[in-house]
Amino acid sequence: MVHSHLLHPLLVIAAVVAILFAISNFSSLKRIIIGRPMRTKELYAKHNKLFWFMALLVLAADLYSSVAYGPEAGMTELASLGSDVKWLILPITIATVILLGILIASYIMGVMAYPNGGGAYTIAKENFDKPWVSLIASSALLVDYVLTVAVSVSAGVQAVASAYPVIAPHATTISVLCVIVILIVNLRGISESATVFAWPTLFFMICMGILILTGISDQFQHGFVQPSTPPFGVMPKGLTTLLILKAFSAACSSLTGIETISNSVPVFRDPATKNAVKAYIALGLITGATLLGYSYELYVKGISVNPQNTMLSQLAGVYFGHSIVYQIMIWSTFIVLILAANSTFTGFPQLAALVASDGFLPRALTVRGDRLGYSNGMLILTALASLLIIGFEARTEALIPLYSIGVFVSFTIAQIGLVRRWIRVKGSYWKVKMSMNAIGALTTISVLIVVASTKFTEGAWIVLIVLPAIIFGCLGIKRHYNQVANELRIDFETHKPSSHHILTIVLISGIHRVVLNTISFAQSLNTDVVAVYVGFNEQDIERMEQKWEDWGSPCRLITLKSEYRSLLGPITRFLKRMETKEGRPDHVHIIIPQFIPRKWWHYFLHNQSALLLRAWLLRNKDVVITTVPYHLQK
Amino acid sequence: MVHSHLLHPLLVIAAVVAILFAISNFSSLKRIIIGRPMRTKELYAKHNKLFWFMALLVLAADLYSSVAYGPEAGMTELASLGSDVKWLILPITIATVILLGILIASYIMGVMAYPNGGGAYTIAKENFDKPWVSLIASSALLVDYVLTVAVSVSAGVQAVASAYPVIAPHATTISVLCVIVILIVNLRGISESATVFAWPTLFFMICMGILILTGISDQFQHGFVQPSTPPFGVMPKGLTTLLILKAFSAACSSLTGIETISNSVPVFRDPATKNAVKAYIALGLITGATLLGYSYELYVKGISVNPQNTMLSQLAGVYFGHSIVYQIMIWSTFIVLILAANSTFTGFPQLAALVASDGFLPRALTVRGDRLGYSNGMLILTALASLLIIGFEARTEALIPLYSIGVFVSFTIAQIGLVRRWIRVKGSYWKVKMSMNAIGALTTISVLIVVASTKFTEGAWIVLIVLPAIIFGCLGIKRHYNQVANELRIDFETHKPSSHHILTIVLISGIHRVVLNTISFAQSLNTDVVAVYVGFNEQDIERMEQKWEDWGSPCRLITLKSEYRSLLGPITRFLKRMETKEGRPDHVHIIIPQFIPRKWWHYFLHNQSALLLRAWLLRNKDVVITTVPYHLQK
């Protein structure tokens, strides 16, 4: 694919990095883009409990939007077999809807078990002793959140590109820009108005309903078997069980996002659990009905896979031409897919913060940004999703094989965790509940095996490598934190601060106001003070020694000669001599003066070798380093 | 032009930046690429005086290589008028050779005046009082050095692309890579074997000689007017004086590099001046003869401009087909053009260091790198030349209009400077010498006016904007250095170090081994010590205060609450309170502990907020900041 220079995705990334850098440095720009910083206590003022159907709409984008690409992903697997396969969309979708029913039933059990909201990670943590089990769940979920962003945004842009083919060559760049816009919106943190997200989803549901009803009324007028309707039940040449399983596992990508409600039970009005269950049942019915109706229409109209034109766009085109209704259809698809990506910007950082607070990920992920969101998590999500989009050139069908693995890994662990929980906790009807989760677990593990084996060569292997790598990384991080904690722990009784013998070394480059300030500071500390001068030749050194005497030798001066014109060598050799000297100090303390110019470009006019020296010494030697700034007036 | 993703020039640049970054950080890699560091005294061991013809060859690459593109650049201006213009190559080249003679004569005067080597900058500095006159010369030369690299390398790659059209689409990338290779060679500093550079130039001279002699013997056999020979003296339609002037000024790019000998008189064996004059005359004769012979052959064979195939390649093709002789011709052209670029890697950094030592450019340019070259200047030259190559897509003809301006600006200033010198210094035959420089000055200023006016819209305006910008920048830098020097100057009698009242603030995040170390260090300094803890909520603060008491309150603890989860706000407000307090300290001294992990990736596991805080405080507050490192064992 040919990109113009300016729209090259890597340039876009570079621009974004530059912008983020700018944001982090120029606080006024940051204020404009991100908004004013917010107080920690504002966090708790925000929660409004939602009516169950409103909560359903707010949480539905992730699951319901998958309808737009799930059936198509399934049929893409079979596309090579010609047009005889078209009828297979019906059995595959029916199987998917049955799986949906099983999963909804077992997630309802999850909601009952964890009314405070419990994702796969929480369930696994509570019901398995080994941390690696819950890490499998969390890693699978984190990987999946990244893939949700990549897949949803790519699918959204693909939908728009079906209507406007001119943008197709720039799909990668546009997708990355969409991710960045979502990032900025989320860095601002607009979750105080979560209900805003309800309406586009509702609108998309209505659009899908109108599309299906228009189709059915068309069929009542023109018959249920039309010229375009492919023959049912014909076995296409070359069809194998493996291919059907591949198609089914790809179609299962319609089911991603099913866990959202179970993670967010507390947003429902009381009785929260009951309302969440109600929402689950309703969402299951709506999604199932849409999947069945939509697939049936695709079948009747004999629509086949076309990489330039999504099936949804083709079907809408059949009924509405390129009218305004078609346009609305396309844009509502785009918006609901972007919303699905957007919901991930809450899920990923929250899960990352949860895992990080357990010590398995860097602690920086637990820090809330200016607008109270976990901004570090959001930035990482953006970077990873953008890399995936660029790597796979925004092709939804290429990303989906990676997707399904993670989904079904976390589904399976959550189900098994729930089974263990019912056995342990029991409670009313526990056997029924346990059986439902057991059925769920068996189903998801079967699907998982199908996906992993059939999609292995098409990208699933990436996930099968990445997941263990993440888990090992998490265990390594935990080990590091534990070791550091042990190393740092002190006994309050025996470990008290004590005084040391300190040698203070002042690095000087001549005799001027900065050196005067620095030596004054050093001598105020009441430690041993020596001034050290590094000269590049004998004459410099003699001149310096003479000047020092003329100034009245305020402290001892040691001159070092640098044959290689670098400060590092002579100074490290000097420090080594100090270390081996008798009566050596407990601490060596080096004072380095630093110019602070008033204009940024003046930095280029003053040697920054002191800065490099400081970094090197801190890293490699056990010395304390003090920077005495000198703010230039001009 | 379409680039493959991997060879996109911006990616190449990014890779180079990464490599340079790596070089500056990983010293073992740096050692492999650049070589061991060298002692300062090794600098003076290197000079070998050269026999005059050897010196000529070493210094000739820059001027002589321009033969490869100068006549072609002239004819490119006329190409739009069709094939009737072909004969004009003869008068234009003759005019160029006359200009060459005048310039050589006046440069010989320069050599006599400045036997220690004196470029335009030195001449201008000695003969004009105002610094801006010499800055015009130095800026023009620096700009020209950058353009020499861009033009020579582009022309070299263009020569090779004539023989191997497959590389033509990647000319930009290959040119940038060539510049980088030249950089690395020069960072290594191989000038101890300068005579190595003599042979390729001699070889190219011989190649050109063979080409011309083959032609002349061909003409003795087949007549001096051949079927391919265009009619002489026909006035082509649309020919204007302006066009002829444009063609002439473009052809004058053959004359760049003429100043090299005058800059390097000391490399000649004694009597150096006499030998340098001899070399100048010989080089003038060789270059003039080559230009005339080469143009004559182009005329006889009726060769016209073709962007895909250089004229030199076409002519060589006429006589030698695509034989091995042709290949040798092309590659020797390439090598001599690369050598011309290479010579700039000595000239630019030396001039920059000279100007910087006068205070008009950043002082970092005067620092010799590990291998005794001015490595900062080389890096800047590489960056600027690469940007030009990328910006102009390695098209020689697009770069040449920018080129000639700088050349003739510095020529003119040097000539006028010499005129002023002869008037001032006088000496034997000074009137003759002065007249020759006056003629030189008049000629170069006329050419300058022609170039600036005819090429204004084709890029010359860029130089006419860049030159004043550089000069103003240089004057600004000088002003800044003077102001800083005044600000820093102290009186040795009255300004002596004195003791101050210092308040030491230790930032703590809890009670552990690092805090223990840091407080021990602070208390060893015998200043007032307070520990400051920033908590994000009331509970944290209460818990910290309790622990501090349990630990026996080794010093006063001040707790600050951060409502916005940042350290910066509470600490700056605390510092402000300190400043306005009565009995405030003369200096505030903040001690920040810093973790130094053993593995680089462990940095991501520890918050770096202390680092950001340090940078902000140094920049914006008048506080001394001490870093106490804690080297983690694991």
Angle in degrees, CA A559, A565, A566, rounded to 5: 80
B554 with A497: Cβ contact below 8 A: yes
- Residues of B within 8 A of A629 (CB-CB) are 618, 622-625
User: How high is the pLDDT of residue A211?
Assistant: 94
Pairing of strands B502-508, A623-631: unpaired
Q: Do A197 and A342 form a contact (C-beta atoms < 8 A)? A: yes
Per-residue pLDDT for A604 more than 80?
A: no
B569 lies in which domain range? 502-631
- Please report whether residue A491 resides in a domain: no
| Cβ <8 Å between B502 and A525 | yes
Q: What is the pLDDT of residue B461?
A: 84
Across the interface, which of B362, B624, B627 has its CB nearest the CB of A618? B627
Residue B293 C-alpha, separation from nearest chain A C-alpha, in angstroms? 43
Q: Are residue B475 and residue B530 in the same domain, yes or no?
A: no
CA distance A480 to chain B (A): 7
Contact A524 B500 (CB under 8 A): yes
With CB atoms and an 8 Å threshold, state whether B11 touches A10.
yes
A562 and A446 belong to one structural domain? no
Looking at the fold, whether A344 and A461 belong to one and the same domain comes out as: yes
User: Which of B2, B484, B499 minimises the CB distance to A2?
Assistant: B2
Pairing verdict, β A502-508 and A587-596: parallel
Which residues in chain A have their CB less than 8 angstroms from residue B370's CB? 564, 566
Residue of A nearest to B479 (CA): A634
Side chain identity at B115, as an amino acid letter? P
Which of B450, B480, B510 terminates a domain? The answer is B480
Claim to verify: residue A511 and residue A399 sit in the same structural domain: no
Residues from chain A that touch B524, judged by Cβ atoms under 8 A, are 499-502, 527, 587
Are B180 and B294 within one domain? yes
| Tens digit of each residue's pLDDT (9 = 90 or more) over B123-179 | 888 889 888 899 999 999 899 899 999 999 999 999 999 989 888 888 988 999 999
What is the tens place of the pLDDT at every residue in B355-373? 999 999 998 888 877 767 7
- Residue A492 inside a domain? The answer is no
CB-CB: which of A480, A489, A536 is closest to B605? A480
Task: Specify the CATH number for the domain of residue A476.
Answer: 1.20.1740.10
Asked, as a colleague might, if the bond just before A271 is cis with ω within 30 of 0, I would say yes
* A172 in the same domain as A24: yes
Same domain, yes or no: A33 and A105: yes
> pLDDT band at residue B475, thresholds of 50, 70 and 90?
very high
Convert B449-467 to b/e letters by CB count within 10 Å (16 or more is b): ebbbebbeebbbeebeebb
Residues A136 and A206 in one domain: yes
User: How confident is the model over B171-196, as a mean pLDDT?
Assistant: 79
CA distance A41 to chain B (A): 8
pTM score above 0.90? no
> Smallest CA–CA separation between B529 and chain A, in Å?
12
> Which residues in chain A have Cβ-Cβ distances shorter than 8 Å to B488?
512-514
Which of A488, A527, A588 should be substituted to probe chain B, the one whose Cβ sees the most B Cβ atoms within 10 Å?
Answer: A488
The verdict on A88 and A172 lying in the same domain is yes
Which of B448, B480, B512 is the last residue in one of the domains?
B480
B581 and B436 within one domain = no
Cβ B626–A631 below 8 Å, yes or no?
A: no
pLDDT given for residue B411 in this prediction: 87
Closest-CA residue of B relative to A360 is: B605
Q: How many CB pairs under 8 A join A and B?
A: 217
Q: Do B523 and A618 touch (CB under 8 A)?
A: no
Residue B39: CB atoms within 10 Å: 12
* CATH code of residue A600: 3.40.50.620
Domain count across chain B: 2
B94 has which bridge partners? Answer: none
> Of the ranges A177-191, A254-268, A545-559, B14-28, which is most confident?
A545-559
d(CA B203, CA B329): 9
Q: Verify whether the Cβ–Cβ distance B502 to A481 is below 8 Å.
A: no
In this structure, is residue B492 part of a structural domain? no
A309 inside domain: yes
Q: Quick check: is B341 in a domain?
A: yes
Q: Is residue A490, in this structure, part of any structural domain at all?
A: no
Contact (Cβ atoms closer than 8 angstroms) between residue A179 and residue A421: no
Question: In whole angstroms, what is the distance from residue B66 CA to residue B288 CA?
Answer: 12
Q: Mean pLDDT throughout A496-515? A: 88
pLDDT, tens digit (0-9, with 9 covering 90-100), for A541-562: 999 999 999 998 888 999 998 8
- What proportions of chain B, in percent to the nearest 5, are helix, strand and coil? 70, 5, 20
Q: Between chains, do A501 and B513 touch, taking CB under 8 Å as contact?
A: no
Answer whether residue A508 is part of any domain: yes
- How big is chain A by its Cα radius of gyration, in Å? 32
ipTM for the complex? 0.77
Taking an 8 Å cut-off on Cβ atoms, the answer to whether A519 and B527 are in contact is no
Search chain B and give the residue with CA nearest A361: B605
Average the pLDDT over each of B193-197, B257-261, B271-275 and give the range with the smallest value. Answer: B193-197
In chain A, residues with a C-beta closer than 8 Å to the C-beta of B501 are: 524
Closest approach of A602 to chain B, Cα-based (Å): 8
For residue A29, the model assigns a pLDDT of 61
Chain B residues with beta carbon closer than 8 angstroms to that of A633: 483, 487
* Integer Cα distance of A103 and A437 in angstroms: 9
Residues B446 and B590 both lie in one domain: no
The answer to whether the CB atoms of A501 and B492 lie below 8 A apart is: no
- Does B461 lie in the same domain as B548? no
Residues in chain A within 8 Å Cβ distance of B41: 563
In chain B, which residues have their Cβ closer than 8 Å to the Cβ of A41? 563
| Residue A35 domain-assigned (yes or no) | yes
Short-list B154, B62, B99, B118, CA closest to B408 = B99
Angle between helix A171-188 and A27-34 (nearest 10): 90
For β-strands A623-631 and A528-535, DSSP reports them as: unpaired
**The pLDDT value given to residue A15:** 66
* Contact check, Cβ <8 Å, B632/A521: no
**Which tens digits make up the pLDDT trace of A532-542?**
999 888 888 99
Which residues in A lie closer than 8 A to residue B631 (C-beta atoms)? Answer: 622
Quick check: A200 and A46 in contact, CB under 8 A?
A: no
User: Any alpha helices (H) in A114-130, and if so which ranges?
Assistant: 120-127
